Structure 1
Amino acid sequence: MANATNLNKDSVGRRKFLKSGMLAGGAALGAGLLAGGKSATAQNGGGGLTKGDVAILRFLAAAELIESDLWVQYAELGGLTSGMPIEVDPNQQLNSYQAALSNLDPDGPQYITSNTLDEISHANFLNGYLESKNEDPVNFDEFRTLQGSQASGAQDIGRLTNLMHLNVDTSWYIRYRSATNPDFGATFPQAIKINNRTAIPITNADFDGSDHIQVIANTAAFHFGYIEQGGSSLYAALSQKASSLEVLKITLGIGGDEIMHFLEWVDFAGNGVQAPVAPRSANGLTFPNFFQPLNPLVQPSLIFPVPCEFISPNLPHCSVIRPLDDKFAGAVATIASFTADGLFVGQSKKFLSTLQTLAEEADAAKREL
């Protein structure tokens, strides 16, 4: 594995290094979070929540388990410390994947680790809350069967998700720079066509070649934005169905954190399509410099949502999260998008069927007053 430069000293000074106890949470999740829990489709009553609220929380727990699984894989290879769990060494050498991510932002590895720990906390909280209401948590341990990366730093454990055959939907990059809204029928082209690509090093051979590893890191950057924009819309869509004020508090609180993630990755991905990182090509995939020529629909320095249609086309445009409707932002739409993304390449039909059932139940929830 090639060593790269030391962590940027100014960046190191700003960080609070995360100790092994916190990082161990990621490894514990990867090895089998909530081992011994009940099946993903079982449901008990008597917790004081409506059937719809339970369905919402169960699907969100499932989504967070999926997110946690993929983020753990990113953190193992590209996070603040390569290989979890170990105590962080401020004098460590970056591997070339971490270095390529740091080219997009010197704090990139820290952000990846922090995002990972956030998603783990979401999954743990949602399952813990369900149990506190006498409802069954979601347990996907039996589906942790996929082979992950075999590069140095990656754990040799079963995975729920596959990051090595991704079809990254990059239309979100244009959508948030447009004055139109998918909830009103607007469609958007791909900012960059990323088909059947890996977002992590698969073997140690992938650490070699500066252009090769940078293209993998850039693919990851656009995938980060794709995942977190989806979470932002999903929580906003399901919040509209919540009956309990406490459940609404949960969806708004966690959903707000997903939006914070998304904003960071919008900026992060944009750094991969401007100088000095771009243009960059490898193995038939090119990340151009979006400032040459300048097009507002892909302008990297536009990181906040452009005002768009909202509620009614007759009302003034408003800067909002979008989409917000079930058709594009609901639970079923989320699973369809994850599947098209390639996250579940190699997964069992039972896993996909279980997810689909959880999604349909969540989308069927209706607000009860």
Structure 2
Amino acid sequence: MDLDITSIPELTHEELRRLYQLVDATRELDLAAVAWQRQGIIPGYAPELGQEAAQVGSAFAMDTARDFLFPTYREMGVALALGVDMVEYMSTHKASWHGGLYNPVSTGLAPIQAVVGGSVLHAVGWAHGQRLSAAPGSELPAAMAYFGDGASSQGDVHEAMNFAGVLKAPVIFFVQNNGWAISLPTQDQVAGGTVAARAAGYGMPSVTVDGNDAPAVVRATRAALAHARAGNGPVLIEAMTYRRGPHSTSDDPGRYRSLDEERRDAGADPVARLAALLLEDGAADQAFLDASRSEAKAHAEKVREGVQALEPRPGREMFDFVFAEPTDTLKAQARAWREESEHV
């Protein structure tokens, strides 16, 4: 069953301008983060070049006063669009704190998840809890679960979608199909060539959207939210995009695709495409685009300074957030660590 988005209005000029600023800032910060890794400022990073519209567009539609988003390790654009402090977000890539130093409760963004497909289970659990605690007939909060076409083959993802479908959990499964599961092309690891087709087997509608078209992603997400909030259960959105760079800064995409293939298959650049739309629709002029780029560069430089100033976290913190109530074994491990490391 396809989700109908025709009733969702087009974005206003004000929304388009804000959307562009976020997409532009994401592009600039993403390029900067890759450079930081090459310079030794951060040890590793998962680039998202080409996926800015999918990430920013989906987060742009959410309401963090009530919704909750569950990222992987590649959702920097989502975090930026939600207003997360990017120095605190980048602390994971600096290897000073796992999951990010930002506050998940106040930002509406769960900790960064490095386990492939792991955050999808968390999203469904949270969404099911919201449904159970909601007043009868009230509009529901919604969860957004991010994962890629590669992660869609994980058993955890299938279990999560089945659970959500059976219990009508208000969760949006947002698949960024960037064409590659690390070095394996989508057609070689997704039967049928599309993740969206799987949604019907779990009793949920789906929509396939051009992931390089930021306004289209916003509208698709708003339609999915309306469906979930009304108590109709989950929705799967498949945003078709392209990973223009490596899977991570330790990956060499030249081992499994050529530059000619990358240029041929990448499609329209999402940042340039949105800029052209603003100019064509009269939503902005070139001066606005130039100012946005200057602000994006200044923001990236400010984040770099903050990341470089991050100090290592106290080692004892590794024991603080394992269980809500620490076990005797964990307490013993913490005592042993303090005796060996802090001599107390």
TM-score, normalized by the shorter chain, greater than 0.5: no
TM-score by length of 1: 0.26
TM-score, normalising length: structure 2: 0.27
